[in-house]
Amino acid sequence: MKILKDKVVKLSFVALLITITAAMFYTPTASAHGEKSQAAFMRMRTIHWFDLNWSKEMVPVNDTMTISGKFFVFSGWPETVDKPEVSFLNIGIPGPVFIRAGSWVGGQLVPRSISLELGETYDFKVLLKARRPGDWHVHTMLNVQGGGPIIGPGKWVTITGSMSDFVNNITTLTGETINLETYNLENTYFWHGLWYAIGLSWMFYWIRRPLFIPRSIAVEAGKADTLITATDKKVAMGFLAGSLVLVLVSYSMTEEQYPVTVPLQAGLLRGIKSLDLPAPTVSVKVEDATYRVPGRAMQMTLTVTNNGDSAIRLGEFQTAGVRFMDSNVAVDDTGYPDDLLAEDGLTVSDNSPLAPGQSRTINVTASDAAWEVYRLADLIYDPDSRFAGLLFFWDESGNRQMTTIDAPLIPTFI
């Protein structure tokens, strides 16, 4: 009976090991992201992306596309999130379906982390090279140290062709041209296989004898010292010594084969140039703001003052990447993602031109299913239930100006 139990335990352990190993080689296809699960206040009160452009919606393998636009670092940054003093401009994609060929902020190449200032607006551009065919959701994203990834709007992009045709050639500092996609691949397989074999050998050495139940009985009987024999100690020392020798020898061989090396660059770029935007001539005061749960609509009472020399009209309210627009004032022709664009989602009680020097109190409603689809309505359940966003006004000449709003949000359930 004891021998049978031991065999069952061993077989179970081996089956578990095989299952885990098989799972390591199974990678299900991921297409979109879980941006909807990111807290609403994170998307509303941190980075506001606008004027975004995905240069292509269909890209052949080895071809390039760019994502460009602007982002505003919200001045009312939440206290619970570390400020973007160490940030990294990134792109949210499901794995290496593109490679990033270059990224720029404020016209400056940014291959490393950057420091951003609250209340400033920056332009950016990311150059991507298509690698893996499929339909992929491609997002803007900013990684913030201590704050995690802040995901921006995403758009579906189709990559055509065959991944076997992908090449990623670079020229090293020594003048050698290599394809990073296949460079030294055999060596990579060799070392992974070698360490995997060493790990399996170590595990199989210990599972060749009775396992859990007999060992538990021995420990309870006060015979734990008998479980580790002198041979076991010698084998353990052999594994340790062999691993150290293997590491030292391989390190020496690598140093000899590649004498010219450059360490990974991990510095912080400061002084990134922000956009020198003209001061807005429109001032907006939020008198109150409510979110009507049954109607999936946010209602705001705003006092708008025009300090400029041309009449203005409110054309767009944008928050968390969702754009609510008044099509009578502004129309989007950039191919912005349909699920994030409510072309007639903005209603203004009196949106007649506001003359220079005048003030007006208006009721503004931003309504669309995106409040629920993108879980922005979850904001009303936060301990600090505040919303934030961008308002865009147009004057009689078609010029646009932007102003920010930030205020508490009160839910209504009737």
Nearest-angstrom CA–CA distance, 287 and 296: 20
pTM for this model (two decimals)? 0.82
> What integer pLDDT is reported at residue 211 of this predicted model?
72
> What integer pLDDT is reported at residue 268 of this predicted model?
93
Residue 4 has pLDDT above 70, yes or no: no
Residue 98 has pLDDT above 90, yes or no: yes
* Whether residues 76 and 132 fall in one domain: yes
Residue 106 CB neighbours (<10 A): 18
Residue 348 has pLDDT above 70, yes or no: yes
Phi, psi of 276 (to 5 degrees): -90, 80
CA 202 to chain centre: 38
Identify whether 330 is part of a domain. Answer: yes
Using CA atoms, how far residue 400 sits from 253, 304, 315, in Å, is: 62, 15, 9
* Whether residues 148 and 218 fall in one domain: no
* Among candidate residues 158, 147, 135, 183, the one with its CA nearest the CA of residue 29: 135
* Whether residues 297 and 390 fall in one domain: yes
Q: Region 149-175: what's the mean pLDDT?
A: 93
* Whether residues 194 and 160 fall in one domain: no
The strand pair at 322-325 and 312-319 is best described as antiparallel
Identify whether 157 is part of a domain. Answer: yes
> What integer pLDDT is reported at residue 382 of this predicted model?
80
Domain at 13, CATH number: 1.10.287.710
Nearest-angstrom CA–CA distance, 128 and 179: 17
> What integer pLDDT is reported at residue 32 of this predicted model?
52
The residues near 267 (Cβ < 8 Å, ≥ 6 apart) are 112, 113
Nearest-angstrom CA–CA distance, 59 and 78: 38
Identify whether 273 is part of a domain. Answer: no
Identify whether 195 is part of a domain. Answer: yes
The residues near 192 (Cβ < 8 Å, ≥ 6 apart) are none
> What integer pLDDT is reported at residue 304 of this predicted model?
97
Identify whether 286 is part of a domain. Answer: yes
Chain segment 286-319, per-residue pLDDT in tens: 999 999 888 889 999 999 999 999 999 999 999 9
* Whether residues 17 and 82 fall in one domain: no
Domain at 50, CATH number: 2.60.120.570
114: left (phi > 0), else alpha (psi -120 to 50), else beta? beta
* Whether residues 168 and 48 fall in one domain: yes
* Whether residues 296 and 401 fall in one domain: yes
* Whether residues 66 and 137 fall in one domain: yes
* Whether residues 302 and 366 fall in one domain: yes
Tell me which residue has tokens 């050998």: 201
Identify whether 268 is part of a domain. Answer: no
Domain at 383, CATH number: 2.60.40.1580
CA 50 to chain centre: 17
Chain segment 43-87, per-residue pLDDT in tens: 999 999 999 999 999 999 999 999 999 999 999 999 889 999 999
Contact call for residues 308 and 356 (beta carbons, < 8 A): yes
Using CA atoms, how far residue 25 sits from 28, 198, 210, in Å, is: 10, 19, 30
Q: Which of 130, 152, 173 is the endpoint of a domain? A: 173
The residues near 364 (Cβ < 8 Å, ≥ 6 apart) are 299, 300, 301, 302, 314, 317, 346, 347, 348, 349
Identify whether 247 is part of a domain. Answer: yes
* Whether residues 51 and 145 fall in one domain: yes
* Whether residues 237 and 310 fall in one domain: no
Q: Which of 140, 173, 206 is the endpoint of a domain? A: 173
CA 346 to chain centre: 28
Length of the chain: 414
Identify whether 63 is part of a domain. Answer: yes
Nearest-angstrom CA–CA distance, 52 and 29: 27
DSSP 127-152: EEEE-S-EEEEEEEEEEETTTEEEEE
Across the chain, what does the average pLDDT equal?
89
> What integer pLDDT is reported at residue 380 of this predicted model?
81
Tell which wins on pLDDT, 260 or 358. 358
* Whether residues 319 and 398 fall in one domain: yes
Predicted confidence band of residue 385 (pLDDT cuts 50, 70, 90): confident
Chain segment 168-224, per-residue pLDDT in tens: 999 988 889 999 999 999 999 999 999 999 999 999 988 877 777 887 888 888 887
Give the range of the structural domain holding residue 130, as residue numbers without chain letter: 39-173
Per DSSP (E only), the strands in 262-348 are 268-269, 282-292, 297-306, 312-319, 322-325, 341-342, 346-348
Nearest-angstrom CA–CA distance, 143 and 249: 38
Hey, CA dihedral for 57, 35, 103, 399, is it positive or negative?
positive
- How many domains in the chain? 3
